[in-house]
Amino acid sequence: MLGEGLLKGLGETARNFAGSFVSKERLTTVQYPEEREPLPEASRAFPFLVYDGADWEAGLRCVACQICEKECPPKCIYIEKSKDKKPDYVGKPQIYPAKFDIDISVCMSCQICVEVCPFEAIKMDNQFELATDDRFGGLLYDRKELARSNEYYHKIHPTEAAEVDARLAEEKAKAEEKAKAVAAAAAAKAAPAMAAKPAEGAQPQ
Amino acid sequence: MSESLLEAWNRPPTIEVDGEGELLEVAMGPHHPSTHGVFRMDVVLDGERVIKLKPVFGYLHRNHEQIGQTVGYLQMMPYTDRLDYFCSLTNNWAYALAVEKLVGQAVPERAEYIRVILAELTRIQNHASTIGFLTQEMGASGTPLMYAFREREKILDLFESLTGSRMMCNYMRFGGCRVDMTEAHLNAARKIVTGLPRFIDEFENLLTSNEILMARSQGMGVLKPDLAVNAGITGPMLRASGVNYDIRKVDHYGIYDRFSFRVPLGEHGDIYDRYMVRVLEMRESLKILEQALKDIPAGPFIDPKAKIRGFKPKPGEAYGRIEAPKGELGFYLISDGGTSPYRFRIRPPSFINLTVLEDMCIGQNVADVVVVFGSVDIVLGEVDR
Amino acid sequence: MKTVEEIKTAIETAVSGAQLEIVPNGSPSAEHSLLVDAAHAFAAAKFLRDDAELKLDFLSNVTGVDWLDKETTEKVKVTRPVEKEVNGVKTMVDETVEETKKTVTPGYLEAVYHLYSMAKKHGPVILRMRTGNRSDKVELPSLTPIWRAAEFQEREVFDLFGIIFTGHPDLRRILMWDGFKDYPMRRDYVDPDDYEYEPTAHDDVLKRAQAHLAATTTEAAQ
Amino acid sequence: MGLGERSFDVAVDPELKIELGKQGIFVTTIQELYNWGRKSSVWPMQFGLACCAIEMIATTMARYDLARFGAEVFRPSPRQADLMIVSGTVTKKMAPQVVRLYNQMAEPRYVIAMGACAISGGPFKQGYNVLKGIDRYIPVDVHIPGCPPRPEALLQAFMTLQKKIDEQSLTGENRPRYLNVDAPGEFPVPEQGEHDLVPASNPNVWTVPVVIR
- Residue D201: its chain A contacts at CB < 8 A? none
Q: Which of D127, D132, D193 sits opposite C179 (nearest CB)?
A: D193
Residue scoring higher pLDDT (D164 or C83)? D164
What pLDDT, on the 0 to 100 scale, is given for residue A199?
46
Cα–Cα distance between B310 and C49 in angstroms, integer?
42
DSSP conformational letter for C107: P
- Which chains reach chain A with 3 or more Cβ–Cβ distances below 8 angstroms? B, C, D
Tally of structural domains, chain A: 1
- Which chains reach chain B with 3 or more Cβ–Cβ distances below 8 angstroms? A, C, D
Chain D: residue nearest C212 by CA? D210
Q: How many angstroms separate the CA of residue C195 from the nearest CA in chain A? A: 14
Is residue B325 within 8 A of residue B119, CB to CB? The reply is no
CATH 3.30.1490.20 for domain C4-67+109-166: no
Closest C-alpha to A44, from B177, B78, D65: B78
Number of neighbours of residue D63 by Cβ within 10 angstroms: 22
For the ranges A186-190, B378-382, D19-23, the lowest mean pLDDT is seen at A186-190
Asked if A38 reaches chain B (Cβ–Cβ under 8 Å), the answer is no
What pLDDT, on the 0 to 100 scale, is given for residue B95?
92
Site from A66, A71, A72, A78 to mutate, C interface, most C CB atoms within 10 angstroms: A78
Q: What percent of chain D has pLDDT over 90?
A: 7
Is residue D84 within 8 A of residue D105, CB to CB? The reply is yes
Taking only the tens place, the pLDDT of each residue in D175-192 is 777 787 777 778 889 988
Cβ–Cβ below 8 Å for D140 and A135 = yes
Q: How many angstroms separate the CA of residue B130 from the nearest CA in chain A? A: 19
Chain D: residue nearest A46 by CA? D146
Q: Which of D141, D145, D213 sits opposite A130 (nearest CB)?
A: D145
CATH of residue A51's domain is: 3.30.70.3270
DSSP conformational letter for B82: T
Q: Which of D192, D196, D210 sits opposite C192 (nearest CB)?
A: D196
Q: How many angstroms separate the CA of residue D177 from the nearest CA in chain A? A: 16
Give the count of Cβ contacts less than 8 A between chain C and D.
Answer: 48
Cα–Cα distance between C161 and C109 in angstroms, integer?
8
Is residue B104 within 8 A of residue C27, CB to CB? The reply is yes
Q: Which of D129, D195, D211 sits opposite C197 (nearest CB)?
A: D211
Q: How many angstroms separate the CA of residue A106 from the nearest CA in chain C? A: 10
Q: Where are the domains of chain B?
A: 64-352
Rg of chain B, C-alpha, whole Å: 21
Taking only the tens place, the pLDDT of each residue in B109-131 is 999 999 999 999 999 999 999 99
Q: Say how far residue B85 (Cα) sits from the centre of its chain.
A: 10
What pLDDT, on the 0 to 100 scale, is given for residue B140?
80
Cβ–Cβ below 8 Å for B8 and C146 = yes
| DSSP bridge partners of C89 | C86
Instruction: Grade residue C78 by pLDDT with cuts at 50, 70 and 90.
Output: confident
Domain contains A203: no
Cβ–Cβ below 8 Å for C192 and D208 = no
Which stretches of chain B are assigned E, i.e. beta strand?
24-28, 40-46, 49-56, 172-173, 176-177, 316-324, 327-335, 343-347
Cα–Cα distance between B146 and B315 in angstroms, integer?
49
Phi then psi for residue C48, to 5 deg, are -60, -35
What pLDDT, on the 0 to 100 scale, is given for residue D6?
46
Instruction: Grade residue A66 by pLDDT with cuts at 50, 70 and 90.
Output: confident
Chain A: residue nearest C197 by CA? A136
DSSP conformational letter for B354: G
Is residue B141 within 8 A of residue B175, CB to CB? The reply is no
Angle C179-C185-C189 (CA atoms, 0-180°, nearest 5)? 80
Cβ–Cβ below 8 Å for D143 and A109 = no
Q: β-pairing, B176-177 with B172-173?
A: antiparallel
SS (H, E, C) chain D: CCCCCCCHHHCCCHHHHHHHHHCCCCCCCHHHHHHHHHHHCCCEECCCCCHHHHHHHHHHCCCCCHHHHCCCCCECCHHHCCEEEEECCCECCCHHHHHHHHHHCCCCCEEEEEHHHHHHCHHHCCCCCECCCHHHCCCCCEEECCCCCCHHHHHHHHHHHHHHHHHCCCCCCCCCHHHCCCCCCCCCCCEECCCCEECCCCCCCCCCCCCCC
Cβ–Cβ below 8 Å for D126 and C205 = yes
Q: What percent of chain B has pLDDT over 90?
A: 30
Q: How many angstroms separate the CA of residue A159 from the nearest CA in chain D? A: 23
What pLDDT, on the 0 to 100 scale, is given for residue A203?
47
Taking only the tens place, the pLDDT of each residue in B19-45 is 677 788 888 878 876 667 788 888 888
Q: Average pLDDT, stretch B227-233?
A: 89
Cα–Cα distance between B346 and B320 in angstroms, integer?
10
Q: Which residues contact B379 (CB under 8 A, 6 or more apart)?
A: B36, B37, B83, B84, B85, B86, B326, B350
What pLDDT, on the 0 to 100 scale, is given for residue B275?
92
Cβ–Cβ below 8 Å for B230 and C28 = no
For the ranges B269-283, C112-126, D171-185, the lowest mean pLDDT is seen at D171-185
Asked if A41 reaches chain B (Cβ–Cβ under 8 Å), the answer is yes
Q: Average pLDDT, stretch D67-71?
A: 86
Cβ–Cβ below 8 Å for C192 and D210 = no
Q: How many angstroms separate the CA of residue D125 from the nearest CA in chain B? A: 9
Phi then psi for residue C76, to 5 deg, are -125, 150
Cβ–Cβ below 8 Å for B78 and A108 = yes
- Residue D209: its chain C contacts at CB < 8 A? 197
What pLDDT, on the 0 to 100 scale, is given for residue A192?
63
What pLDDT, on the 0 to 100 scale, is given for residue B193?
92
Angle A76-A96-A173 (CA atoms, 0-180°, nearest 5)? 115
Cβ–Cβ below 8 Å for A73 and B168 = no
Give the count of Cβ contacts less than 8 A between chain A and C.
Answer: 21
Inter-axis angle of helices B109-138 and B271-295, nearest 10: 150
Taking only the tens place, the pLDDT of each residue in B42-60 is 888 888 888 888 888 888 8
Whether the ω angle into residue B304 lies within 30 degrees of 0, i.e. cis, is no
Cα–Cα distance between A15 and A10 in angstroms, integer?
8
Angle D73-D74-D75 (CA atoms, 0-180°, nearest 5)? 105
Instruction: Grade residue C113 by pLDDT with cuts at 50, 70 and 90.
Output: very high
Host H or E run for residue A103: strand A93-103
Is residue B31 within 8 A of residue B12, CB to CB? The reply is no
Closest C-alpha to D145, from D129, D159, D133, D128: D133
Inter-axis angle of helices C38-50 and C4-14, nearest 10: 110
- Residue D211: its chain C contacts at CB < 8 A? 197-199
Asked if C103 reaches chain A (Cβ–Cβ under 8 Å), the answer is no
Taking only the tens place, the pLDDT of each residue in D85-125 is 998 899 999 899 899 999 988 888 899 999 898 998 889 98
Rg of chain D, C-alpha, whole Å: 19
Question: What ipTM does the predicted assembly reach?
Answer: 0.85
pLDDT at B108 over 70: yes
Fold of D43-163: Rossmann fold (3.40.50)
Q: Average pLDDT, stretch A123-134?
A: 87
| DSSP bridge partners of D143 | A132, D113
SS3 B56: strand
Q: Average per-residue pLDDT in chain B?
A: 87
Name the amino acid, one letter, at B131. I
CATH of B64-352, one of 1.10.645.10, 3.40.50.1390, 1.10.40.60, 1.10.10.10: 1.10.645.10
Name the amino acid, one letter, at C77. K
- Residue C201: its chain A contacts at CB < 8 A? 75, 78
Number of neighbours of residue A195 by Cβ within 10 angstroms: 10
Cβ–Cβ below 8 Å for A33 and D155 = yes
Cβ–Cβ below 8 Å for D143 and A138 = yes
What pLDDT, on the 0 to 100 scale, is given for residue C92?
75
Cβ–Cβ below 8 Å for B165 and A44 = yes
Cβ–Cβ below 8 Å for D150 and B166 = yes
- Residue B308: its chain A contacts at CB < 8 A? 115-116
Name the amino acid, one letter, at B28. M
Q: Which residues contact B177 (CB under 8 A, 6 or more apart)?
A: B111, B114, B115, B171, B301, B302
Cβ–Cβ below 8 Å for C199 and A101 = yes
Q: Where are the domains of chain D?
A: 43-163
Angle D148-D154-D157 (CA atoms, 0-180°, nearest 5)? 125
Domain contains A41: no
What pLDDT, on the 0 to 100 scale, is given for residue B385?
84
Q: Give residues 132 to 171 of B whose Cβ lies within 8 Å of D.
A: 145-146, 149-150, 152-153, 166-168
Chain B: residue nearest D90 by CA? B60
* Buried-exposed string B221-233: b where 16+ CB fall within 10 A, e elsewhere: bbbebebbbbbbb
Domain contains A194: no
Q: How many angstroms separate the CA of residue D112 from the nearest CA in chain B? A: 17
Cα–Cα distance between C199 and A100 in angstroms, integer?
11
Cα–Cα distance between D138 and D201 in angstroms, integer?
9
Name the amino acid, one letter, at C142. S
Q: Give residues 143 to 182 of C whose Cβ lies within 8 Å of D.
A: 175-177, 179-182
Instruction: Grade residue D8 by pLDDT with cuts at 50, 70 and 90.
Output: very low
Q: Say how far residue B333 (Cα) sits from the centre of its chain.
A: 20
What pLDDT, on the 0 to 100 scale, is given for residue B94?
92
Name the amino acid, one letter, at A45. A
Q: How many angstroms separate the CA of residue D114 from the nearest CA in chain A? A: 9
Q: How many angstroms separate the CA of residue D77 from the nearest CA in chain A? A: 26
pLDDT at B4 over 80: no
CB-side neighbour CA atoms (13 Å) of B371? 25
Chain C: residue nearest B330 by CA? C61
Cβ–Cβ below 8 Å for B211 and A112 = no
- Residue A108: its chain D contacts at CB < 8 A? 116, 122-123, 147
What pLDDT, on the 0 to 100 scale, is given for residue A85?
82
Is residue B365 within 8 A of residue B49, CB to CB? The reply is yes
Cα–Cα distance between C65 and C173 in angstroms, integer?
17
DSSP conformational letter for A48: E
Q: What percent of chain D has pLDDT over 70?
A: 93
Cβ–Cβ below 8 Å for A106 and C200 = yes
What pLDDT, on the 0 to 100 scale, is given for residue B35?
63
For the ranges A21-25, B188-192, C33-37, D95-99, the lowest mean pLDDT is seen at A21-25
Rg of chain C, C-alpha, whole Å: 25
Cα–Cα distance between B125 and B84 in angstroms, integer?
13
Domain contains A79: yes
Question: Edge to edge, what strands does the sheet with A93-103 contain?
Answer: A77-87, A93-103, A140-141
Q: How far apart are the first and last CA of chain B?
A: 33
Instruction: Grade residue B104 by pLDDT with cuts at 50, 70 and 90.
Output: confident
Cβ–Cβ below 8 Å for D213 and C210 = yes
What pLDDT, on the 0 to 100 scale, is given for residue B305?
82
Q: How far apart are the first and last CA of chain C?
A: 71
Q: β-pairing, C122-130 with C108-117?
A: antiparallel
What pLDDT, on the 0 to 100 scale, is given for residue A51?
87
Instruction: Grade residue B6 by pLDDT with cuts at 50, 70 and 90.
Output: very low
Closest C-alpha to C27, from B103, B94, B341, B95: B103
Taking only the tens place, the pLDDT of each residue in A151-204 is 888 888 888 888 888 888 888 888 888 888 888 888 777 766 555 554 444 444
